[in-house]
Chains A and B, each alone.
Chain A
């Protein structure tokens, strides 16, 4: 059974940096072909894809957010980390980590950006 679980801060101030961790179970980020992505959803709004990292450290980002995003992996801990810099209130959203292109989803973590 594959599970993904997001963790990190839930309240941040504008201009701060968000760091979220996705912990994987039943799925290894080191296995050939595996990719773990991030998707966010502002309250009451649609889904927005952020980026993905693959087992071989290949990464793809949303062009509109690329300058502010970094996705890394820690194979020893079987975790994937999302960093979002220079936060703004519009970054308030539930952040999900997903297996590949959405085959499995984490429970999500609501991150609020407010002064």
Chain B
């Protein structure tokens, strides 16, 4: 199974400041079709997860443009350009290149300082 390691585990951020979450894969995530199936999810407190980004950098409809994804191979990053109060929650990366199983990272908790 592909192991995804996220860092940091916890990320205290000042409102209006940037935040960056790392996701490192145990295998390269380039599929034979040329795509890289690395997704990012946000889970606000008490809510179901919500997909923010698919295939490394494609924002879902309705996702604010302060969220961006980047990376390649085994190293990926989710960035929030200016953190807002509604961004508090846990963020997960997930890979769908080498499956089954789909695998998730352990999560990064974003909180306001």
Q: Is B51 in contact with chain A by the CB < 8 A criterion?
A: yes
Q: Say whether B77 faces chain A, with CB atoms less than 8 Å apart.
A: no
Q: How far is the CB of B98 from chain A (nearest CB, A)?
A: 12
User: Which of B39, B49, B50, B92 has the most chain A CB within a 10 Å cutoff?
Assistant: B49
Interface of A is mostly: loop
Residue of B with least CB distance to A65: B101
* Chain A: minimal CB distance from B90 (Å): 9
**Which A residues touch B94, using CB under 8 A?**
47, 101-102
Q: Are B103 and A49 in contact (CB under 8 A)?
A: yes
In the bound complex, do residue A60 and residue B92 qualify as a contact, i.e. CB atoms below 8 Å apart? no
Interface residues of A in 66-115 (CB under 8 A from B): 96, 101-103, 105-108
Please state if B92 and A47 are interface contacts (CB–CB under 8 Å). yes
- Contact B106 A102, beta carbon cutoff 8 Å: no
Residue of B nearest to A49 (CB): B102
Contacts of A101 on B, CB cut-off 8 Å?
Answer: 37, 39, 94, 96, 102
A37–B104 CA distance with the chains assembled, in angstroms: 14
Given A101-B39, A102-B94, are A47 and B49 also a contact pair (CB < 8 Å)?
yes
CB pair A108–B100 under 8 Å, yes or no, is no
How far is B47's CA from A48's CA once the two chains are assembled, in angstroms? 16
Complex Cα spacing A108 to B46, Å: 10
B48–A106 contact, CB under 8 A? yes
User: Which B residues are closer than 8 A to A by beta carbons?
Assistant: 1, 37, 39, 41, 48-51, 54, 60, 92, 94, 96, 99-107
9 cross-chain CB contacts under 8 A: A46-B105, A46-B107, A49-B100, A49-B103, A60-B100, A101-B39, A102-B49, A106-B48, A108-B48
Q: Give chain A's interface residues, CB within 8 Å of chain B.
A: 37, 46-49, 51, 60-64, 96, 101-103, 105-108
Other contacts beyond A49-B103, A105-B48: 16, CB < 8 A: A37-B102, A46-B105, A47-B92, A49-B100, A49-B104, A61-B100, A62-B101, A63-B1, A63-B100, A96-B48, A101-B94, A102-B39, A102-B51, A103-B51, A106-B48, A107-B48
